[in-house]
Structure 1
Amino acid sequence: MEKFTLQFVAELFDHRLTEQQKNISIHHIYTDSRQSVENGLFIPIVGERFDAHDFISGAIERGAVAALWSRSEQPEGIPKNFPLIYVDDTLKALQELAKAYRQALDPTVIGVTGSNGKTTTKELIAACLSATYKTAKTEGNLNNHIGLPLTILRMERDVEVLVAEMGMSAFGEIELLSSIGQPDHAVITNIGESHIEFLGSREGIAKAKLEITAGLRKQGQLIIDGDEPLLTTNAYPNKIRCGFTAENDYRVEAYEQLQEASSVTINQTTFTLPLLGQHQALNAAFAIALAELMGVPTDQAINQLESVVMPGMRFEKIETKQGALVINDAYNASATSMVASIDVVKQMNYQRKVAVLADILELGDFTEQAHNKVGQSIDDQFDAIFTFGTSSRFILEGLPETFSGKQKHFTSKQALIEELTSELDENTVVLLKGSRSMKLEEIIEALQ
């Protein structure tokens, strides 16, 4: 489906086209020359180790009909009639094009950020809003200064709502994303320890997350974890609070973990959420708050929540050949999310429980403290704790003195797999949790 003609792009960057070129239809906007597309606008990004201008020939072979082009790059091997629109910086041009497309379509944009739970909350919100609106959402990990523009530019022209995840690791990054996406409403799920190495403190993390208000539309609502003082004391006027205490606008009044789901009561309405963990009840509260704000009937929103399906590697349940249940929650990790996952497994009805916990990254001076915190949350409901990597050894050091289960640290994934295999039977549940770069999914591949 056509997003726009090349004339839309040319006008944005003050570029002249031939009459024939003006009417070229653009269906896809992309940065990866390996993609096969139809009627694509290729935008070559320059990285630390690559320059995608070098791959223009491949992009043309696979469906590019035009490209943005840095003025500092000499075009070589490009057909004479192939349209190049010259810009000073292709990355900034990608961001400018996305912002212009967002303004042209003018959907309602929901920005979602936070230390933990961004993706789950995004999925829950999108599910609720899709009951009433044609809804687009961030796919995969497209939540940064390149991913957000691509998410916006993937919208079909008839999209009514975009739920956009916004990630960051440093100050200024959320402000940039907010200025591109210009959210009508925004959600901050919580303030944890993620990226504390670069932001210095939880106060610094809160400041960075609150940058989402920089591009927030006038009268836009900021939906927050209402039990987090670093958010409730912020001066932004239009806040909706979600949480567990009486002061919240959307209160989780009751939570019960079932075998495969959770019973949740929010503002006197009880429903079954197909996710485990009290933290998921809070994420559902964010979604219900957004749904009601957007005029979605509460019963329809809850129907959507009761049938929601999460992306892989987020408390994904997998059975091994020995009959054990493996919980693959290894998409990413912080100390807060690791403790939350441990608490969920504690309540699961299995005779034996094993946790495989890998390094939590980007903690800087807080590395030992954060890993110790995880260890302190573990008790004798677990039969074995295996850690993998470097910093995760601090988890074992944080274990209570009364912990009587097996504990062992590994630097070899193969050795870990061999030890773990000996623990597996049909009465055992295993939690896998660690930072994404630790690649714990490789353990599952060996167990299946």
Structure 2
Amino acid sequence: MITRKLSEVARMAEGSVPDLFGEVEIQGVALHPDEVRPGCLYIPLSESQGDKREMAEAAVRRGASAMLREAGHMEEYPGQIPSICVEDAKAALLKLAAAYRKELPVRSIAITGSDGKSTTRDVVATMLATTYKTFQADGGVERPLTDLACAILRMEESTEMAVFELQWNAHEDLAEQARFVRAEAAIITNVGETQLKLLGSRREVAAATMKVVEGLLPGSLLVYNGEEPLLREMLALADKPEGLLTYRFGSTEEADIYPIAIMNELEGTCFKTNLPTTSYFRVPLLGLHNIMNALASAALTKYMGVCDQDAVTGMNSLERVYTRLVPMYTRSGAVIFNDSLSATPTSMKAAIELLKELSGYQRKIVVLGDMADLGPDEVRYHKEIGAMLTAPEIYKVFAYGTLARHIASEAGKGQPPGRVKWFQEKAELIDAVAAEANAKDAILVKGSRMLGLDELVEVLTGV
């Protein structure tokens, strides 16, 4: 984390500090009293909720060494703590982080796209960590630059690689975010339906996503989904940095990197690529969509200098996250594939296709909830999901939520009577699924985070 004297911090943040406090040293920053650690710099932002003076006093009690004070609001802060005076605390935070980032020799990577960002970030970071001291962070949705600034200031000065997940924001676009972290490589996972409510169409989603290219340093690498025509179109229109290299991943020979052999196992997927190596990759994730994320990660980390054997070792050591279709067992012996913290039409279709392809189960059951923020076509998207569930591989459908009613109504057109049920109350849903689940069942649970379907998983598994 950042460790500097206040005189240096004031210079970096373009503030002023009395000579009396210039030699005071800070270690790290905190934006809220609850985050304060002894020796850190407390930075109260104007957007923070609560009494500013009480919060500042709490930060002092928790051991803050110094704080930023906004000119014109000095009376809101206690006087017994060394301080730097700035015009605007958020602007000063961003300047401090930008200056610190420029001082570090770290190489930055940006991960963005509609679906699979967090998974891809984790895979890339795990693979890089076999060779380099690696840091990873999420830029956040509501205030991405603020979150990225805090992440940068947490980085150790010895960090060699930094992997940042960038989130689209209407006020702080991906070009600005990539420029802020000084990214020299980026992955665009795909173009889905995320942010349709605000952007209006997949074409606009693609345009907003491709903005990341404009923020890359000269000579950077872009790894992108070559099977998405909208990305190809937007790349041609983008204001690209000089010397940009591009690399496409996909499932066919039209891509620069693609799988030539795939073996599915309950605990993960093994695959080999077309690249000149005899090694098989193994990723503890299921589904073709996760193979695509792994391919992008393999291409980028190879470019960043990770050798083939370390790449294989790193991917295989990825920590399993039980909200990414990792199998879990219920008390009755059924297997649950939990993906309950996010849902878009693209990711839901991929999860259903995975369930249909699995072998060794007597019955396959889906528990699906609403997909949020899809804009005016939200009903159509839910009906499309329901139409997929008329396939004979699907034994039973449980739908939960206002919009999921359209999933149920469409699925009911092709399923036998009694095989599709819709619920308004979560408790009733949990009771029904618990009563249905038997050994040798495979159960997919997926829906938007706001529905809290992870509660269902906790009840059934006891985890």
TM-score range, shorter chain: over 0.9
Q: Whole-Å Cα distance in 1 between the matches of residues 140 and 323 of structure 2?
A: 13
User: What is residue 27 of structure 2 aligned with on the other side?
Assistant: 27
Pairing partner for 1:265 from 268, 272, 285: 272
Q: How far off its partner does 1:400 sit?
A: 7.1
Tell me if 1:297 matches 2:307.
yes
CA gap 1:350/1:45 in 2 versus in 1, 3 angstroms: farther
Q: Whole-Å Cα distance in 1 between the matches of residues 85 and 134 of structure 2?
A: 33
Tell me if 1:281 matches 2:281.
no
Q: Whole-Å Cα distance in 2 between the matches of residues 407 and 285 of structure 1?
A: 37
Pairing partner for 1:371 from 382, 385, 398: 382
Conserved 8 A contact 1:386-1:408: yes
User: What is residue 46 of structure 2 aligned with on the other side?
Assistant: 46
Give structure 1 regions of 4+ aligned residues with deviation exceeding 6 angstroms.
Answer: none
Tell me if 1:396 matches 2:408.
yes
User: What is residue 245 of structure 1 aligned with on the other side?
Assistant: 252
Matching residue's letter, 2:245: N
CA gap 1:50/1:250 in 2 versus in 1, 3 angstroms: farther
Deviating more after overlay: 298-307 vs 63-72: 63-72
Q: How far off its partner does 1:298 sit?
A: 1.5
Q: How far off its partner does 1:79 sit?
A: 3.6
Q: Considering only aligned residues, what root-mean-square deviation do their CA atoms show, in Å?
A: 2.3
Kindly provide the CA deviation profile for residues 304-357 of structure 1, in whole angstroms up to 9, marking residues without a partner as x: 112211444222433222232222212211111111112222233322222211
Tell me if 1:350 matches 2:361.
yes
Q: How far off its partner does 1:422 sit?
A: 0.6
Conserved 8 A contact 1:166-1:177: yes
Conserved 8 A contact 1:145-1:173: no
Q: Secondary structure at the match of 1:422?
A: helix
Q: Whole-Å Cα distance in 2 between the matches of residues 342 and 167 of structure 1?
A: 26
User: What is residue 177 of structure 2 aligned with on the other side?
Assistant: 177
User: What is residue 136 of structure 1 aligned with on the other side?
Assistant: 135
Q: How far off its partner does 1:19 sit?
A: 4.1
Kindly provide the CA deviation profile for residues 12-38 of structure 1, in whole angstroms up to 9, marking residues without a partner as x: 233332445223222222223112412
Deviating more after overlay: 302-311 vs 161-170: 302-311
Kindly provide the CA deviation profile for residues 216-236 of structure 1, in whole angstroms up to 9, marking residues without a partner as x: 001111110011111123124
CA gap 1:51/1:430 in 2 versus in 1, 3 angstroms: farther
CA gap 1:242/1:433 in 2 versus in 1, 3 angstroms: same
Q: How far off its partner does 1:51 sit?
A: 6.6
Matching residue's letter, 2:404: S
Deviating more after overlay: 152-161 vs 392-401: 392-401
Conserved 8 A contact 1:120-1:310: no
User: What is residue 14 of structure 2 aligned with on the other side?
Assistant: 14
Q: Secondary structure at the match of 1:145?
A: helix
Q: Whole-Å Cα distance in 1 between the matches of residues 344 and 421 of structure 2?
A: 21
Q: How far off its partner does 1:145 sit?
A: 2.9
CA gap 1:90/1:330 in 2 versus in 1, 3 angstroms: farther
Kindly provide the CA deviation profile for residues 155-213 of structure 1, in whole angstroms up to 9, marking residues without a partner as x: 11100000000012437432331231120111111000011110111111011111112
Q: State the TM-score, normalized to the length of structure 2.
A: 0.90
Conserved 8 A contact 1:123-1:310: no
Conserved 8 A contact 1:223-1:239: yes
Q: Whole-Å Cα distance in 2 between the matches of residues 220 and 410 of structure 1?
A: 49
Tell me if 1:97 matches 2:108.
no
CA gap 1:46/1:428 in 2 versus in 1, 3 angstroms: farther
Q: Secondary structure at the match of 2:145?
A: coil
Q: Whole-Å Cα distance in 1 between the matches of residues 188 and 16 of structure 2?
A: 43
User: What is residue 127 of structure 1 aligned with on the other side?
Assistant: 126
Q: How far off its partner does 1:50 sit?
A: 4.9
Q: Whole-Å Cα distance in 1 between the matches of residues 28 and 45 of structure 2?
A: 16
Q: Secondary structure at the match of 1:34?
A: helix
Kindly provide the CA deviation profile for residues 100-151 of structure 1, in whole angstroms up to 9, marking residues without a partner as x: 2111113100000000000010011111111111000016958823322222
Q: Whole-Å Cα distance in 1 between the matches of residues 77 and 439 of structure 2?
A: 61
Q: Whole-Å Cα distance in 2 between the matches of residues 376 and 8 of structure 1?
A: 61
Kindly provide the CA deviation profile for residues 381-414 of structure 1, in whole angstroms up to 9, marking residues without a partner as x: 2222112121122222332733337212212111
Q: Secondary structure at the match of 2:65?
A: strand
Q: State the TM-score, normalized to the length of structure 1.
A: 0.93
Q: Whole-Å Cα distance in 2 between the matches of residues 171 and 73 of structure 1?
A: 26
Unaligned segments of structure 2, at least 5 residues: none
Tell me if 1:360 matches 2:360.
no
Matching residue's letter, 1:435: S
Deviating more after overlay: 371-380 vs 224-233: 371-380
CA gap 1:281/1:77 in 2 versus in 1, 3 angstroms: closer
CA gap 1:51/1:441 in 2 versus in 1, 3 angstroms: farther
Q: Whole-Å Cα distance in 2 between the matches of residues 79 and 89 of structure 1?
A: 19
CA gap 1:366/1:86 in 2 versus in 1, 3 angstroms: farther
Deviating more after overlay: 327-336 vs 305-314: 305-314
Q: How far off its partner does 1:445 sit?
A: 2.9
CA gap 1:415/1:147 in 2 versus in 1, 3 angstroms: same
Conserved 8 A contact 1:335-1:370: yes
CA gap 1:68/1:274 in 2 versus in 1, 3 angstroms: same
Q: Whole-Å Cα distance in 2 between the matches of residues 88 and 16 of structure 1?
A: 10
